[in-house]
Structure 1
Amino acid sequence: MSPKLKTLLDYGPLVVFLAVFVLYRNETVTLWGQDYPGLILATLVFVPLTVAANWILWARTGTLSVMQLVTLAVVVVFGGLTIWLNDPRFIKMKPTLIYLIFAALLATGVALRRNWLAAAMGEALPLSPEGWRILTTRLIWFCLGLAALNETIWRTQSDTTWVLFKTVGLILLTLGFFAANAPLFARHTTEDSNSDAG
């Protein structure tokens, strides 16, 4: 799959979600006899687009990662509840649940001495076992921090602030996390040793 298509499938639904919310955040739209505020209308668009993006990804690659499947399930369930009950709290809680699930999965892998993060990212990021252990521990705490931050923002800030946090803030924080771990990657990379062996 081309990088452009992969990026489109990964971020396209999120960009459309943000665009629809910005366009309708101060309006109420009536569909099927029900009034929907902008945030729920954006969710109504986001859920099927996310399903379609994952279907295309599966059709093109023949596989979906555990993280992609978990995210898809949570989007469908919590997005569906948001639309069905006309209650934005469910879509706002979705990132919290996703990050808590990721943290729990990673912690379970550590407890079982299974390197699940390496299995998911090993091809893109060649690290030693010690490097993966450190990164996994840091990522567990990072996910827990994002879950707590999401709960704080959606409970105390406006819908606009939360949507910007969800669509832009979380991406920037994730990029910042991996950038901050660049020294770890440099210290524990196995790329040089593999090249020397070859």
Structure 2
Amino acid sequence: MSERTVNPVLKQVLELGPTIAFFLLYLRIRDDVFTIGGTEYTGFIVATIVFVPILLVCMGILWALTGKLSRIQVFTAFMVIFFGGLTAWFNDERFFKMKTSIVNGLFAVILGLGLLRGKSLLQWVMGDMIPMQQEGWMILTKRLALAFAALAIANEIVWRTMSTDAWVKIETFAFPLALFVFLWAQIVMLQRYVIDPEEDKAASGGNDG
């Protein structure tokens, strides 16, 4: 199925909606205890269980509208399902909290292994979105691997030393904002490596002539 364009606002809603829904639901039921099948579950665990199908529905709609899901989206969804399932099965919120550490840690390891082989796996994933010279991709990959490692460590510190309320707020807003600001700063700093499609096309045309 070929990729199709979709309203950017709708795309953002589908991508960010599940996380916001989890946050709002958690705030609503965080102090409640639910008995399901004779087992008591906290509001956090129920919010986690509800979050999983919401995420899958939004991803299904996004795939139906665009005809494509990124590898990162698919991987993240798998991890959410896996750790959400463990959280519900063992009735232990620590599994879902550890998810962020493990996902970011795996991203750091995967990017690092690519760098050891002299390759930018980030370019393989995002090359179509950001036309950039190879040197730029290598620099960005190194910095992003370190950023993911830092986020993994930060999440471990937060969930082990702070309240569930604090973790939910930091997970929902602080971590994504920190990653967004980091990526934005990197794009600005690495601007000299970005390839202008028009200039590249003109250069190719000149060479052909």
Aligned match of 2:135 in 130, 135, 149?
130
Counterpart among 118, 126, 139 of residue 144 in structure 2: 139
The match for 2:3 is none
For residue 60 of structure 1, what is the aligned residue in structure 2?
65
What is the distance in 2 between the residues matched to 1:182 and 1:136?
12
Match of residue 194 from structure 1: 200
**Mean CA deviation greater in 103-112 or 88-97:** 103-112
Aligned residues with identical type, % of pairs: 38
1:182–1:65 Cα change, 3 Å:
closer
Residue of structure 2 in register with 1:166 after alignment: 171
Contact 1:131/1:184 (8 A) holds in 2 = no
Alignment partner, residue 33 of structure 2: 28
Name the counterpart of 1:149: 154
**Runs of 4 or more off by more than 6 Å in structure 1?**
none
- Scaled by the length of structure 2, the TM-score of the pair is 0.87
Matches of 1:62 and 1:108, distance apart in 2: 30
Q: 2:88 aligns with which of 83, 87, 95?
A: 83
- Whole-Å Cα distance in 1 between the matches of residues 119 and 56 of structure 2? 30
- The 1:61/1:113 distance shift into structure 2, 3 A limit, reads farther
| Cα-Cα RMSD | 1.7
**1:74 equivalent in alignment to 2:54:** no
AA aligned opposite 2:171: K
Structure 1: gaps of 5 or more residues: none
**Number of residues of Structure 1 aligned to a counterpart in Structure 2:** 198
1:108 aligned residue = 113
Q: Does 1:98 align with 2:107?
A: no
State whether residues 52 and 80 of structure 2, in contact with CA within 8 Å, keep that contact through their aligned partners in structure 1. yes
TM-score, normalising length from structure 1? 0.92
- Structure with greater Cα Rg: 2
